[in-house]
Amino acid sequence: MNFRTAQIRLVSSHPEVYEPCDDSFALVDALLADRTNLVQHQPTLCMEVGCGSGYVITSLALILGKESVGAHFIATDINPHAVRVTQETLEAHGVHAELISTDIALGLEQRLAGSVDVMVVNPPYVPTPEDEVGCEGIVSAWAGGENGRVVIDRILPIADNLLSEKGWLYMVTLAANNPIQICRTMREKGYASRIVLQRSTEEESLHIIKFWRDSDI
């Protein structure tokens, strides 16, 4: 097996788990485009929050080249079906990640603080009524509350806590999430940012933002 990214036919599924969509493909395309930098970055710990089907974390593991470069992968999802599906997807591609059913990174924040070198997040970003956020089932895969920002705004400080000095964060956002304002919030925490990929589909305008700590900020 020598795939560049996860193969759709090998991605496992479940009725209550988010299937790879335009947003998932955009994130993986952004990671692929940044492949050379990622490999040179030599991450020790990589993490995905909200792994869903496992399409993204599997692709990241394949992009960084199995275990050989010495990276370790961790993925979380609030939906226990998702982490199981992710496990099947990883196995089908012959790669490994440690999986945890949890809310963002609950349980990891104390011991993993300052250790994550690469974090990838395709959060629930769709503007929805507040009460749909975090409810059981497939709705919580996209429900982002007001401006689609409720979960994103909870993830950002946690990402800041978990990222190492050289840590990078790649995150999917929608124009409606106000990506410029997200970048400003992260700037206040000392991060530079760049929109590494922008893609408009029939339904949405996606921005993949990369964040990294910048001592000049």
25 binds ligand SAM (CB under 6 A): no
How many residues bind to ligand SAM according to rule CB under 6 A? 27
Pairing state between β 45-49 and 116-121? parallel
Q: Is 45 exposed, middle or buried (0-12, 13-18, 19+ CB in 10 A)?
A: middle
Binding segment for another protein among 56-64, 111-119, 123-131, 192-200 (CB under 8 A)?
A: 111-119
From ligand SAM, another protein, none, which one binds at residue 141 (CB under 5 to 8 Å depending on kind)? Answer: ligand SAM
Binding segment for ligand SAM among 32-40, 53-61, 185-193, 206-214 (CB under 6 A)?
A: 53-61
State in angstroms the smallest separation of the CB of 217 from ligand SAM.
28
Residue among 168, 41, 156 at smallest CA distance from 116:
168
Q: Looking only at residues 71 through 100 of this chain, which bind ligand SAM when binding is defined by CB under 6 A? A: 76-79, 82
107 binds another protein (CB under 8 A): yes
Q: What sections of 7-79 are H helices per DSSP?
A: 22-33, 35-41, 55-63
Binding segment for another protein among 79-87, 123-131, 183-191, 205-213 (CB under 8 A)?
A: 79-87
Q: How far apart are CA 20 and CA 40, in angstroms?
A: 27
Give the other-Cβ count within 10 Å of 18's Cβ: 24
- Pick from 71, 95, 142, 169: which binds ligand SAM (CB under 6 A)? 142
String of b and e for 162-175 (b: at least 16 CB within 10 Å)?
bbbeebbbbbbbbe
Strands (DSSP E) along 8-152, which ranges? Answer: 45-49, 72-77, 98-101, 116-121
Give the other-Cβ count within 10 Å of 47's Cβ: 31
How many residues bind to another protein according to rule CB under 8 A? 28
Instruction: Please count the CA atoms within 13 angstroms of the CA of 160 that sit on its side-chain side.
Output: 17
106 binds another protein (CB under 8 A): yes
Give the binding site for another protein (CB under 8 A).
Answer: 44, 66-68, 70-72, 74, 78, 80, 83-84, 87, 96, 98-103, 106-112, 115
Give the binding site for ligand SAM (CB under 6 A).
Answer: 18, 20, 23-24, 27, 49-53, 55-56, 76-79, 82, 103-104, 122-124, 134, 140-142, 151
